[in-house]
Chains A and B, each alone.
Chain A
Amino acid sequence: DGGITQSPKYLFRKEGQNVTLSCEQNLNHDAMYWYRQDPGQGLRLIYYSQIVNDFQKGDIAEGYSVSREKKESFPLTVTSAQKNPTAFYLCASIARSRGGNTIYFGEGSWLTVV
């Protein structure tokens, strides 16, 4: 199946630990994004990458890090510096066409700090 795969779906982290959320796509899309969603709220951009080996900070990048060594993969690390990491994390990739861009989201990862 083509699409975006996020793992794990549920993750518990102790305070002070780093965790890495996986995002893989087989859609051959250049651009990939990470968003954070808090309960009952909208999506806030953490990091985005328009091409391999390049990425930019979004609106709430502090306490997060990413890498883009392969086109298919855009992992997000939630570091211990992130003060309030409990949230729903969504990875997305973009299909570009003449008619415009379409975003495809993964199913998301729920991170809970215990």
Chain B
Amino acid sequence: GQQVMQIPQYQHVQEGEDFTTYCNSSTTLSNIQWYKQRPGGHPVFLIQLVKSGEVKKQKRLTFQFGEAKKNSSLHITATQTTDVGTYFCAGNFGNEKLTFGTGTRLTIIP
């Protein structure tokens, strides 16, 4: 089936350290999206990647889409306490049905 695997499931980092979460699909994606869910909240759209090898930046966040359009990563530089939450990737296999990864829960140690 069409699945999106995301690792790691949990990540604890010291404030100021970097953080990366990875998503992998067994089949080619038409696009991939990233979301952030704060504790007790709902997912909020961060970005969409469409092109092979695409890299996009939002301040301290860097998003990459693999050349084969099967994997993606989100990297946060110098984490802050406001970065706490669960980060989800969601893959679109071209059928309008988004498939979410299991998420990476980020906690920050002050």
Contacts and interface: CB of A to CB of B under 8 A. Distances in A.
A100 B102 contact: no
Interface stretch (A63-71, A76-84, A104-112): A104-112
Give the interface size bracket for A toward B. Answer: 20 to 34
Nearest to A96: B96
Contacts of B41: 107
B42 A107 contact: yes
Interface of B: 6, 31, 33, 35, 41-45, 48, 50, 88, 90, 92, 96-103, 105
Contacts of A45: 97-100
Contacts of A108: 42
A100 B44 CA distance: 16
Interface string A14-42: 00000000000000000101010000111
Interface in A70-114: 90, 99-108
Nearest to A90: B42
Top 10 closest pairs, chain A to chain B, by CB: A42-B102, A100-B48, A43-B100, A105-B42, A42-B100, A42-B103, A108-B42, A105-B43, A107-B42, A102-B45
A5 interface: no
Contacts of B102: 41-42
Interface of A: 31, 33, 35, 40-45, 48, 50, 56, 58-59, 90, 99-108
6 contacts: A42-B103, A43-B90, A45-B98, A50-B96, A101-B33, A103-B35
B17 to A, nearest CB: 23
A41 B101 CA distance: 9
A102 B48 contact: yes
A75 B89 CA distance: 26
Given A40-B105, A43-B43, A58-B97, 13 more contacts: A33-B98, A42-B6, A42-B103, A44-B100, A45-B98, A100-B50, A101-B48, A102-B45, A102-B48, A103-B90, A105-B43, A105-B44, A106-B42
